[in-house]
Amino acid sequence: MPSRLDTLAEAARLHDVFVQAGATDVYADMLQSAETLLDLYGEDIRARAYVTSDALRGEQMLRPDFTVPVVQMHMDHGAEPARYTYNGVVFRRQEDDPSRPNEYIQVGYEVFDRANPAETDAEVFSLINRALGDVPVRAATGDIGILTAAVQGLNTSDRRKAALMRHIWRPKRFRALLDRFAGRLAVPDTRRALLDAVDPFQFAGPFNGLRSKSEVTERIDALRVDAQTPHLSDAELDLLDQILSVKETCRDAVAHLRELTAGQTLLEQAVDRFGDRVAALADQGIDVDHLMFEASYGRTSMEYYDGFVFGFYAEGHDDLPPVATGGRYDALTRRLGRGAEIPAVGGVIRPDLMLSLTGGAA
Amino acid sequence: MTLKIGVPSKGRLMEKTFDWFGDRGIQLSRTGSDREYSGRVDGIDGVELVLLSAGEIPRELAAGRIHLGVTGTDLIQEKLSLWAQRVETLAELGFGHADLIIAVPTCWVDVDTMDDLDAAAAAFRAHHGFRLRIATKYHRLVRDYLKSHGVADYQIVDSQGATEGTVKNETAEAIADITSSGETLRANHLKILSDGLILKSQASLFWSKTAPMDAADITTLKALKHKLAL
């Protein structure tokens, strides 16, 4: 591992690169409201972040990243457009891998700008690419927006689309839902019995707890409607599978996706946005004839990215976490903005990993 | 040095453990007044009895402060991450059987599987403005199980006892707890989800992989295993 002094110096250098690019330095408290983070990520984050508490403020979390507090700060009193940078320690609980550090420095760059999403995507990616210098890394990119467009474009009920959207970041559950909506999974006997029952509440016993009888009735009604909803067609499922398995250079992926999605308005628009981004990346000097694109990339990471996603990985070190990651998170600004929203994209670099790949001198 | 064996300090778990060892020619017993936590071991030399709360035995094994310990599989897996790297199961003792399960109110006739629970949780959050609460003391095991089944929009609320009562008291919507006969669940109008079995637990004898042992201890452990027919 690189020395602490070297890591701090490298972090300062990266931070300076971002300041030179026009970013304002911002700070976030080390202790964050656990409630905000739990509401965003759900209970799973307890396995990845440290929770502490006091009798006055209740549960607090050692910041697992800067993005959430930076978005909150911007939504509260930021001017537009804005570019921010930060440099500090984040904390990640490691329950399964003792070799991974539970605290490390992140240096980040975040852009809040309505003007041109393709250009800001390219700006963040190429700035981070440049800041990484000669470190031997390979880049991976993806686009959650193409997947969400594919779901929204399905010829099925809004309820089914909402269920799929909710599980986009849980590929296994997403797949199970697709199989069920396509009629490829058998309906459980208990479900069939419930829907066939004349009085579903015959053996219900007394009602207790906060979830009321009307909520149960509402769900039974929804299940009845769902049972009448036609299966997703094989053609639709095949298209989704073909989209999900696209893995080629950015240039080729645009052409391939255009071919796959011809005539599907929502998907065509999403692929257009991808095409614009690739053009913007090329304008920034990125070699899009070699930069890889993977349609299912980024689905298992933190679930706030909803458009462009990217990561830089150590060449030949599959065991190491990515040296840099980032993406677009418009929906996060909507959730934290209390009615307001703004397109946003950003990325972070880990200086300790950078140095460990270059033997100390970046 | 001596080989330290941690045994639950009271109740049926202690008595059954004493019986199990007694059947195999090793007498464990408490000494002094029945309020004093000290014990003795007969039938083998070099073994010391340490009486502990069953809940603390996993921690003491992991820290290497005891060499052997009797406790439930549920407590080992809940309290120790990477438990298989830190302790080894020498024997399942055939008592203290309990299942860690997820249960919901019987009146939730629309919920029978983990998939249903997930769908109900999504609707509950939309309706009530907070995540569906699951009361348990097994935070890690329950969270891992819900994650592997893709359940979202829930929260765990800590419950160290009388967990089955939390639903009626409206401090939780569902529970995850240990059950053996299911009677308490039925009495509180709760039902187990058909795929809601998280873990089958029983009292087991564990060996600490981290406790320091000298040559004499290794000999003692061999003799003990021989006597226990392990």
Same domain as A199, residue A83: no
Question: A226 Cβ partners below 8 Å, 6+ apart?
Answer: A157, A159, A160
- The pLDDT tens digits for B197-221 are 999 999 999 999 999 999 999 999 9
A132 lies in the same domain as A170? no
A203/B contact by beta carbon, under 8 A: yes
Does B95 reach chain A within 8 Å, measured CB to CB? Answer: no
Indicate the average pLDDT of chain A.
Answer: 93
Query: What tokens does A97 get?
Result: 């891998």
Spatial neighbors of A189 by CB under 8 A, at least 6 apart, are none
Helix (H) or strand (E) holding A281: helix A265-283
Give, for A137, the enclosing helix (H) or strand (E).
strand A137-143
SS3 at position A294: strand
Structural domain includes residue A51: yes
**Phi/psi at A195 (5° precision):** -70, -25
How many CA atoms, within 13 angstroms, populate the side-chain half-sphere of residue A197? 18
A213 & A101 share domain: no
Rounded-to-integer distance, Cα B196 and Cα A192, Å = 19
Task: Kindly report the backbone phi and psi dihedral angles of residue A129, in degrees, each rounded to the nearest multiple of 5, phi listed first.
Answer: -55, -45
Q: Are the C-beta atoms of B13 and B53 separated by less than 8 Å?
A: no
What is the per-residue pLDDT across B64-88, written as a single tens digit (0 to 9) for each?
999 999 999 999 999 998 898 999 9
> Is the same domain home to A94 and A26?
yes
B194 with A190: Cβ contact below 8 A: yes
Which residues 159-188 of B are in CB contact (within 8 Å) with A? 167-168, 170, 173
* pLDDT reading at A360 higher than 70: no
Mean pLDDT computed over A296-307: 83
Let me know whether A63 and A176 are in one domain: no
C-alpha distances in Å from residue B89, one per residue of A100, A165, B4, B58: 27, 43, 16, 12
The residues near A155 (Cβ < 8 Å, ≥ 6 apart) are A232, A233, A236
Residue A169 lies in a domain: yes
* Same domain for A122 and A187: no
Is-contact B57 B71, C-beta < 8 A? yes
> What proportions of chain B, in percent to the nearest 5, are helix, strand and coil?
35, 35, 35
Give the ipTM of the model, two decimals please.
0.89
Q: Between these two residues, B37 and B97, which has the higher pLDDT value?
A: B97
Q: How many CB atoms lie within 10 A of CB A149?
A: 22
Q: Which two tokens stand for residue B55?
A: 């809940």
Distance, CA of A90 to CA of A78 (rounded, Å):
23
Region A41-55: mean pLDDT is: 91
- Residues 6 or more apart whose Cβ sits within 8 Å of residue A86: A15, A25, A26, A27, A28, A66, A70, A106, A107, A108
Residue A2 within a domain: yes
Same domain for A170 and A90, yes or no, is no
Predicted pLDDT at A79: 87
Nearest beta carbon to residue A205 from set B82, B106, B123: B106
List C-alpha distances in Å: B194 to A186, A195, B101, B102, B107.
Answer: 16, 17, 10, 9, 15
Domain contains A17: yes
- C-alpha B9/C-alpha A101 separation (Å) is 38
Model confidence pLDDT, tens digit, residues A100-116: 899 999 999 999 999 99
Question: Amino acid identity, residue A314?
Answer: A
Residues of A in contact with B149 (CB under 8 A): 173
Are A183 and A221 part of one and the same domain? yes
* Assigned domain for A356 exists: yes
Q: Is the pLDDT of residue B105 over 70?
A: yes
Do residues A127 and A7 share a domain?
yes
DSSP letter for B8, please.
E
User: Cβ–Cβ of B123/A43 closer than 8 Å?
Assistant: no
* Last residue of one domain, picked from the residues A233, A264, A294: A233
**Is residue A27 situated within a structural domain?**
yes
In the sheet that A292-294 helps form, which strands lie side by side, from edge to edge? A24-25, A82-91, A103-112, A344-349, A324-328, A308-314, A137-143, A292-294, A247-249
**Contact indicator for A110, A70 with CB cutoff of 8 Å:** yes
* CATH number assigned to the domain comprising residue A35: 3.30.930.10
Summarised one tens digit per residue, pLDDT across range A319-338 is 889 999 999 999 999 999 88
Contact map slice: B 207-226 vs A, CB within 8 A = none
Angstrom distances, CA of residue B221 to CA of A257, B17, B70 = 65, 18, 15
The answer to whether position A299 is within a domain reads no
**How far does the CA of residue A213 sit from the closest CA of chain B (Å)?**
8
Closest CB to B108 among A38, A176, A211: A211
Long-range contacts of A228-234 (CB under 8 A, 24+ apart): A229/A156, A229/A157, A229/A160, A229/A181, A230/A156, A231/A181, A231/A182, A231/A183, A232/A154, A232/A155, A232/A156, A232/A178, A232/A181, A232/A182, A232/A183, A233/A155, A233/A182, A234/A182
pTM as predicted = 0.89
Q: What share of chain A is helix, strand, coil (3-state, %, to 5)?
A: 45, 20, 35
Domain that holds residue A49: 1-136+352-362
In the listed set A203, A233, A263, which residue is the last one of a domain according to the structure? A233
Give the closest residue to A291 by CA, choosing from A126, A124, A139: A139
Q: Classify strands B132-136 and B154-158 as parallel, antiparallel or unpaired.
A: parallel
A302 Rama sector, left if φ>0, alpha if ψ -120 to 50, beta otherwise: beta
Q: What whole-number distance in Å separates Cα of residue A89 and Cα of residue A91? A: 7
Residue A51: strand pairing partners: A61
| Domain boundary pick from A172, A198, A233 | A233
Mean pLDDT of the residues in chain B: 94
Quick check: is A266 in a domain?
no
- Given a cut of 70, whether residue B98 has pLDDT beyond it is yes
- Which phi and psi (to 5°) does residue B101 adopt? -135, 165
Least CB–CB distance from B168: residue in A39, A43, A209:
A209
Band (pLDDT 50/70/90 cuts) for residue A362 is: very low
Contact A109, A18 (CB under 8 A): yes
Provide the percentage of residues in chain B whose pLDDT is more than 70: 99
Instruction: Inform me whether the pLDDT recorded for A296 exceeds 90.
Output: yes
Query: A23 and A131 in one domain?
Result: yes
Domain total of chain A: 2
Predicted local confidence at residue A302, as pLDDT: 60
pLDDT in tens, B18-72: 999 999 999 999 987 766 778 899 999 999 999 999 899 999 999 999 999 999 9
Same domain flag for A64 and A105? yes
Q: Which residues of A touch B167 (CB under 8 A)?
A: 208-209
d(CA A279, CA A268): 16
Tokens 């689905």 correspond to A299
Angle, helix A234-244 to helix A250-261, in steps of 10 degrees: 170
SS3 A65: coil
Burial A160-178 (b: 16+ CB within 10 A, else e): bbebbebbbbbeebbebbb
Query: CB A43 to CB B168 under 8 A?
Result: no
Distance from CA of B121 to the nearest CA of A (A): 10
Q: How far apart are CA A156 and CA A158, in angstroms?
A: 7
Please work out, in degrees rounded to the nearest 5, the angle formed at the alpha carbon of residue B27 by the alpha carbons of B26 and B32. Answer: 150
Asked if residue A234 has pLDDT above 60, the reply is: yes
List residues bridging with A24 in a β-sheet: A84
Indicate whether A2 and A126 sit together in one domain: yes
Question: Residue A320: its pLDDT value, please?
Answer: 87
Cβ–Cβ of B109/A216 closer than 8 Å?
yes
In the three-class reduction of DSSP (H, G, I as helix; E, B as strand; rest coil), residue A59 is classed as: strand
> In Å, how far from its chain's centre is CA A136?
25
Contacting residues for A169 by C-beta, under 8 A, at least 6 apart: A299, A300, A301, A303
Predicted pLDDT at A361: 46
In order of their start, the domains of chain B are 3-97+202-227 (3.40.190.10), 98-201 (3.40.190.10)
H-helix or E-strand spanning residue B21: helix B11-23
- The answer to whether the Cβ–Cβ distance between B143 and A172 falls below 8 Å is no
